[in-house]
Amino acid sequence: MIVVQNLIDAISLGSVYALAALGIGLIFSIMRLINFAHGELIMVGGFVIYALAGNPMLVMALSAIIVVTILALGMERLAFRPLRKASPPTLLIASFAVSYFVQHVILMIFGSRPMGVDFLSVLGESFEFAGLRVPRLQCIAIVVTLALMVGLVVFFRASRIGVQMRAAAEDFTMARLLGVKADRVIAVAFALSGILASFVSLYLVAQTGTVSYKMGVNMVLIAFVASVIGGMGSLTGAALGGFIVGIVSVSLQAYLPEELRPYRDAFVFLLFIAFLLWRPQGLLVRRASERV
Protein backbone atom coordinates (compact mmCIF):
# COMPACT_ATOMS: atom_id res chain seq x y z
CA MET A 1 0.00 0.00 0.00
CA ILE A 2 2.89 2.35 0.66
CA VAL A 3 4.00 1.98 -2.95
CA VAL A 4 0.49 2.79 -4.20
CA GLN A 5 0.27 5.77 -1.87
CA ASN A 6 3.60 7.09 -3.15
CA LEU A 7 2.48 6.55 -6.73
CA ILE A 8 -0.68 8.59 -6.18
CA ASP A 9 1.37 11.36 -4.56
CA ALA A 10 3.82 11.29 -7.47
CA ILE A 11 1.11 11.49 -10.13
CA SER A 12 -0.54 14.37 -8.29
CA LEU A 13 2.69 16.35 -7.99
CA GLY A 14 3.67 15.45 -11.54
CA SER A 15 0.36 16.73 -12.86
CA VAL A 16 1.08 20.20 -11.43
CA TYR A 17 4.61 20.13 -12.81
CA ALA A 18 3.17 19.08 -16.17
CA LEU A 19 0.87 22.12 -16.28
CA ALA A 20 3.78 24.44 -15.48
CA ALA A 21 6.00 22.73 -18.07
CA LEU A 22 3.29 22.99 -20.72
CA GLY A 23 3.21 26.76 -20.20
CA ILE A 24 6.98 26.95 -20.77
CA GLY A 25 6.97 24.51 -23.68
CA LEU A 26 4.07 26.20 -25.46
CA ILE A 27 5.89 29.51 -25.79
CA PHE A 28 9.20 27.89 -26.67
CA SER A 29 7.67 25.75 -29.41
CA ILE A 30 6.54 28.86 -31.29
CA MET A 31 8.90 31.68 -30.31
CA ARG A 32 12.05 29.82 -29.28
CA LEU A 33 11.72 31.77 -26.04
CA ILE A 34 12.32 30.26 -22.61
CA ASN A 35 9.98 32.52 -20.69
CA PHE A 36 11.26 32.60 -17.11
CA ALA A 37 8.67 35.30 -16.40
CA HIS A 38 6.16 32.44 -16.44
CA GLY A 39 6.89 32.06 -12.73
CA GLU A 40 5.62 35.57 -12.12
CA LEU A 41 2.33 34.67 -13.81
CA ILE A 42 1.98 31.94 -11.19
CA MET A 43 2.91 34.38 -8.45
CA VAL A 44 0.46 37.07 -9.58
CA GLY A 45 -2.35 34.52 -9.61
CA GLY A 46 -1.62 33.81 -5.96
CA PHE A 47 -1.73 37.49 -5.02
CA VAL A 48 -5.01 38.00 -6.87
CA ILE A 49 -6.47 35.28 -4.65
CA TYR A 50 -4.97 36.97 -1.58
CA ALA A 51 -6.34 40.39 -2.58
CA LEU A 52 -9.84 38.96 -3.03
CA ALA A 53 -9.83 36.88 0.16
CA GLY A 54 -13.29 36.75 1.69
CA ASN A 55 -15.12 36.66 -1.63
CA PRO A 56 -16.76 33.49 -2.96
CA MET A 57 -14.18 30.90 -3.99
CA LEU A 58 -15.45 30.88 -7.58
CA VAL A 59 -14.97 34.64 -7.84
CA MET A 60 -11.42 34.34 -6.50
CA ALA A 61 -10.52 31.52 -8.89
CA LEU A 62 -12.04 33.13 -12.00
CA SER A 63 -10.47 36.48 -11.17
CA ALA A 64 -7.04 34.85 -10.86
CA ILE A 65 -7.46 33.14 -14.23
CA ILE A 66 -8.60 36.33 -15.95
CA VAL A 67 -5.93 38.60 -14.43
CA VAL A 68 -3.09 36.16 -15.15
CA THR A 69 -4.26 35.68 -18.74
CA ILE A 70 -4.41 39.45 -19.28
CA LEU A 71 -0.95 39.82 -17.73
CA ALA A 72 0.43 37.14 -20.06
CA LEU A 73 -1.01 38.99 -23.05
CA GLY A 74 0.45 42.23 -21.72
CA MET A 75 3.90 40.63 -21.43
CA GLU A 76 3.71 39.50 -25.03
CA ARG A 77 2.50 42.84 -26.36
CA LEU A 78 4.76 45.18 -24.40
CA ALA A 79 7.93 43.18 -23.76
CA PHE A 80 8.32 40.39 -26.30
CA ARG A 81 6.60 41.59 -29.46
CA PRO A 82 9.02 44.52 -29.97
CA LEU A 83 11.91 42.05 -29.56
CA ARG A 84 10.48 39.28 -31.71
CA LYS A 85 13.26 39.50 -34.29
CA ALA A 86 15.97 39.63 -31.65
CA SER A 87 18.34 36.77 -30.90
CA PRO A 88 17.37 34.03 -28.40
CA PRO A 89 19.83 35.38 -25.76
CA THR A 90 18.18 38.81 -26.02
CA LEU A 91 14.74 37.29 -25.57
CA LEU A 92 15.99 35.30 -22.59
CA ILE A 93 17.38 38.44 -20.94
CA ALA A 94 14.08 40.18 -21.62
CA SER A 95 12.22 37.40 -19.84
CA PHE A 96 14.43 37.84 -16.77
CA ALA A 97 13.86 41.60 -16.91
CA VAL A 98 10.09 41.12 -17.01
CA SER A 99 10.35 38.62 -14.16
CA TYR A 100 12.26 41.01 -11.89
CA PHE A 101 9.99 43.92 -12.81
CA VAL A 102 6.81 42.04 -11.87
CA GLN A 103 8.42 40.71 -8.69
CA HIS A 104 9.36 44.19 -7.53
CA VAL A 105 5.95 45.62 -8.35
CA ILE A 106 4.45 42.96 -6.08
CA LEU A 107 7.10 43.74 -3.46
CA MET A 108 6.16 47.42 -3.46
CA ILE A 109 2.46 46.63 -3.12
CA PHE A 110 2.42 43.68 -0.72
CA GLY A 111 5.89 43.52 0.84
CA SER A 112 8.29 40.61 1.12
CA ARG A 113 6.73 38.57 3.93
CA PRO A 114 4.72 35.46 3.02
CA MET A 115 1.04 35.97 3.80
CA GLY A 116 -1.60 33.45 4.69
CA VAL A 117 -4.85 33.07 2.78
CA ASP A 118 -7.77 30.70 3.23
CA PHE A 119 -8.51 29.24 -0.19
CA LEU A 120 -10.18 25.87 -0.78
CA SER A 121 -9.00 24.63 2.59
CA VAL A 122 -11.76 22.01 2.48
CA LEU A 123 -9.71 20.21 -0.17
CA GLY A 124 -7.13 19.42 2.50
CA GLU A 125 -9.42 16.67 3.79
CA SER A 126 -8.68 13.16 2.59
CA PHE A 127 -10.54 10.25 1.06
CA GLU A 128 -9.79 6.97 2.80
CA PHE A 129 -10.18 3.61 1.11
CA ALA A 130 -8.31 0.29 1.19
CA GLY A 131 -5.81 1.70 3.66
CA LEU A 132 -4.97 4.69 1.44
CA ARG A 133 -5.39 8.36 2.32
CA VAL A 134 -5.73 10.62 -0.71
CA PRO A 135 -6.27 14.36 -0.13
CA ARG A 136 -9.08 15.83 -2.18
CA LEU A 137 -6.67 18.40 -3.55
CA GLN A 138 -4.56 15.67 -5.12
CA CYS A 139 -7.60 14.15 -6.80
CA ILE A 140 -8.69 17.55 -8.09
CA ALA A 141 -5.17 18.29 -9.37
CA ILE A 142 -5.05 15.05 -11.35
CA VAL A 143 -8.55 15.46 -12.78
CA VAL A 144 -8.05 19.12 -13.71
CA THR A 145 -4.67 18.41 -15.33
CA LEU A 146 -6.10 15.58 -17.42
CA ALA A 147 -9.06 17.76 -18.41
CA LEU A 148 -6.80 20.63 -19.47
CA MET A 149 -4.52 18.31 -21.41
CA VAL A 150 -7.48 16.77 -23.24
CA GLY A 151 -8.81 20.28 -23.89
CA LEU A 152 -5.46 21.33 -25.38
CA VAL A 153 -5.39 18.26 -27.63
CA VAL A 154 -8.90 19.02 -28.89
CA PHE A 155 -8.02 22.69 -29.33
CA PHE A 156 -4.87 21.97 -31.34
CA ARG A 157 -6.58 19.40 -33.54
CA ALA A 158 -10.09 20.77 -34.02
CA SER A 159 -9.81 24.57 -34.04
CA ARG A 160 -8.41 26.65 -36.85
CA ILE A 161 -6.11 28.69 -34.62
CA GLY A 162 -4.96 25.48 -32.96
CA VAL A 163 -3.95 23.98 -36.29
CA GLN A 164 -2.15 27.22 -37.15
CA MET A 165 -0.26 27.02 -33.87
CA ARG A 166 0.80 23.46 -34.63
CA ALA A 167 2.01 24.57 -38.05
CA ALA A 168 3.89 27.49 -36.51
CA ALA A 169 5.53 25.15 -34.01
CA GLU A 170 6.81 22.99 -36.86
CA ASP A 171 8.07 25.80 -39.12
CA PHE A 172 7.07 29.36 -38.28
CA THR A 173 8.55 30.90 -41.41
CA MET A 174 6.68 28.55 -43.72
CA ALA A 175 3.48 28.98 -41.71
CA ARG A 176 3.68 32.76 -42.14
CA LEU A 177 4.23 32.36 -45.88
CA LEU A 178 1.05 30.27 -45.99
CA GLY A 179 -0.97 33.03 -44.33
CA VAL A 180 -0.70 32.32 -40.62
CA LYS A 181 -0.83 35.60 -38.69
CA ALA A 182 2.14 35.72 -36.33
CA ASP A 183 0.66 38.26 -33.89
CA ARG A 184 -2.51 36.24 -33.42
CA VAL A 185 -0.80 32.88 -33.01
CA ILE A 186 1.72 34.16 -30.47
CA ALA A 187 -0.92 36.08 -28.52
CA VAL A 188 -3.07 32.96 -28.23
CA ALA A 189 -0.01 30.97 -27.10
CA PHE A 190 0.66 33.50 -24.33
CA ALA A 191 -3.01 33.50 -23.32
CA LEU A 192 -2.97 29.71 -23.02
CA SER A 193 0.24 29.83 -21.01
CA GLY A 194 -1.44 32.34 -18.69
CA ILE A 195 -4.42 30.03 -18.19
CA LEU A 196 -2.12 27.12 -17.39
CA ALA A 197 -0.12 29.29 -14.97
CA SER A 198 -3.28 30.40 -13.19
CA PHE A 199 -4.31 26.81 -12.48
CA VAL A 200 -0.87 26.16 -11.01
CA SER A 201 -1.45 29.24 -8.81
CA LEU A 202 -4.76 27.86 -7.60
CA TYR A 203 -3.12 24.58 -6.66
CA LEU A 204 -0.16 26.15 -4.84
CA VAL A 205 -2.31 28.53 -2.80
CA ALA A 206 -4.79 25.78 -1.91
CA GLN A 207 -1.94 23.46 -0.92
CA THR A 208 0.21 25.85 1.11
CA GLY A 209 -2.31 28.46 2.26
CA THR A 210 0.28 31.19 1.67
CA VAL A 211 1.41 33.57 -1.05
CA SER A 212 4.89 35.02 -1.55
CA TYR A 213 6.62 37.06 -4.20
CA LYS A 214 8.97 34.09 -4.70
CA MET A 215 6.29 31.42 -5.01
CA GLY A 216 6.74 31.07 -8.75
CA VAL A 217 10.54 30.86 -8.81
CA ASN A 218 10.97 27.21 -7.86
CA MET A 219 8.02 26.14 -9.98
CA VAL A 220 9.32 27.77 -13.16
CA LEU A 221 12.74 26.19 -12.61
CA ILE A 222 11.17 22.76 -12.22
CA ALA A 223 8.99 23.42 -15.27
CA PHE A 224 12.09 24.28 -17.30
CA VAL A 225 13.80 21.08 -16.15
CA ALA A 226 10.71 19.07 -17.08
CA SER A 227 10.57 20.71 -20.52
CA VAL A 228 14.21 19.89 -21.20
CA ILE A 229 13.76 16.29 -20.06
CA GLY A 230 10.73 15.85 -22.29
CA GLY A 231 12.33 17.64 -25.24
CA MET A 232 12.17 21.39 -25.79
CA GLY A 233 9.51 22.25 -28.35
CA SER A 234 7.41 19.16 -27.70
CA LEU A 235 4.26 19.74 -25.66
CA THR A 236 3.80 16.01 -25.17
CA GLY A 237 7.39 15.88 -23.96
CA ALA A 238 6.82 18.80 -21.57
CA ALA A 239 3.87 17.03 -19.96
CA LEU A 240 5.78 13.75 -19.81
CA GLY A 241 8.78 15.52 -18.28
CA GLY A 242 6.55 17.06 -15.62
CA PHE A 243 5.23 13.67 -14.56
CA ILE A 244 8.75 12.20 -14.55
CA VAL A 245 10.08 14.98 -12.31
CA GLY A 246 7.12 14.51 -9.98
CA ILE A 247 7.66 10.76 -9.76
CA VAL A 248 11.40 11.16 -9.15
CA SER A 249 10.86 13.83 -6.47
CA VAL A 250 8.32 11.77 -4.53
CA SER A 251 10.38 8.59 -4.89
CA LEU A 252 13.49 10.29 -3.51
CA GLN A 253 11.49 11.79 -0.65
CA ALA A 254 10.11 8.35 0.19
CA TYR A 255 13.18 6.16 -0.22
CA LEU A 256 16.21 8.32 0.52
CA PRO A 257 17.75 7.83 3.97
CA GLU A 258 16.10 10.19 6.41
CA GLU A 259 19.24 12.28 6.91
CA LEU A 260 19.47 12.91 3.15
CA ARG A 261 15.84 13.87 2.52
CA PRO A 262 16.42 17.61 3.11
CA TYR A 263 18.72 17.48 0.09
CA ARG A 264 16.17 15.85 -2.18
CA ASP A 265 16.17 18.67 -4.72
CA ALA A 266 19.94 18.41 -5.05
CA PHE A 267 19.59 14.74 -5.97
CA VAL A 268 16.83 15.60 -8.45
CA PHE A 269 19.10 18.04 -10.25
CA LEU A 270 22.03 15.62 -10.16
CA LEU A 271 19.84 13.07 -11.89
CA PHE A 272 18.82 15.77 -14.35
CA ILE A 273 22.47 16.48 -15.19
CA ALA A 274 23.14 12.77 -15.64
CA PHE A 275 20.13 12.52 -17.94
CA LEU A 276 21.40 15.42 -20.08
CA LEU A 277 24.77 13.74 -20.42
CA TRP A 278 22.99 10.65 -21.72
CA ARG A 279 20.32 12.31 -23.88
CA PRO A 280 20.82 16.08 -24.25
CA GLN A 281 17.99 16.40 -26.81
CA GLY A 282 15.35 15.14 -24.38
CA LEU A 283 13.04 12.15 -24.56
CA LEU A 284 10.88 13.31 -27.46
CA VAL A 285 12.69 14.99 -30.32
CA ARG A 286 10.61 17.30 -32.43
CA ARG A 287 11.58 19.51 -35.31
CA ALA A 288 12.31 22.86 -33.72
CA SER A 289 10.40 25.84 -34.94
CA GLU A 290 12.53 28.54 -36.49
CA ARG A 291 12.99 31.82 -34.72
CA VAL A 292 10.43 34.43 -35.70
pLDDT digits (tens, 9 = 90+) for 235-269: 888 889 889 998 888 888 888 888 888 888 888 88
pLDDT at 130: 64
- Torsion sign over Cα 88, 23, 184, 290: positive
Instruction: Please check the confidence at residue 71 and state whether its pLDDT lies above 90.
Output: yes
pLDDT at 292: 37
Local confidence band at 99 (pLDDT 50, 70, 90 cut-offs): very high
Instruction: Please check the confidence at residue 288 and state whether its pLDDT lies above 70.
Output: no
Evaluate whether 75 touches 190 at the Cβ level (below 8 Å).
yes
Instruction: Please check the confidence at residue 45 and state whether its pLDDT lies above 60.
Output: yes
Local confidence band at 291 (pLDDT 50, 70, 90 cut-offs): very low
The pTM assigned to this predicted structure is 0.87
For the chain, give every domain's residue range.
Answer: 2-278
pLDDT at 286: 59
pLDDT at 285: 66
Q: Are strands 115-116 and 210-211 parallel, antiparallel or unpaired?
A: antiparallel
Look over the chain and give the mean of its residue pLDDT values, rounded to a whole number: 84
Evaluate whether 40 touches 18 at the Cβ level (below 8 Å).
no
Instruction: Please check the confidence at residue 73 and state whether its pLDDT lies above 90.
Output: yes
Closest CA to 212 of 111, 137, 121: 111
pLDDT at 1: 62
Q: Is 116 helix (H, G, I), strand (E, B) or coil?
A: strand
Q: Is 287 helix (H, G, I), strand (E, B) or coil?
A: coil
Instruction: Please check the confidence at residue 162 and state whether its pLDDT lies above 70.
Output: yes
pLDDT at 41: 93
Q: Which helix (H) or strand (E) holds 14?
A: helix 2-31
Considering only residues 234 and 274, tell me which one the structure prediction assigns the higher pLDDT.
274
Domain 2-278 has CATH 2.50.20: no
Percent of the chain with pLDDT over 70: 94
Instruction: Please check the confidence at residue 74 and state whether its pLDDT lies above 90.
Output: yes
- Torsion sign over Cα 51, 115, 223, 139: negative
Give the separation between CA 18 and CA 146, rounded to whole angstroms. Answer: 10
Q: What is the largest CA-CA distance in the chain?
A: 59
Local confidence band at 101 (pLDDT 50, 70, 90 cut-offs): very high
Evaluate whether 60 touches 53 at the Cβ level (below 8 Å).
yes
Q: What is the CA radius of gyration of the chain?
A: 19
Instruction: Please check the confidence at residue 131 and state whether its pLDDT lies above 80.
Output: no
Kindly state the DSSP code that residue 134 receives in the 8-state scheme.
E
Considering only residues 153 and 165, tell me which one the structure prediction assigns the higher pLDDT.
153
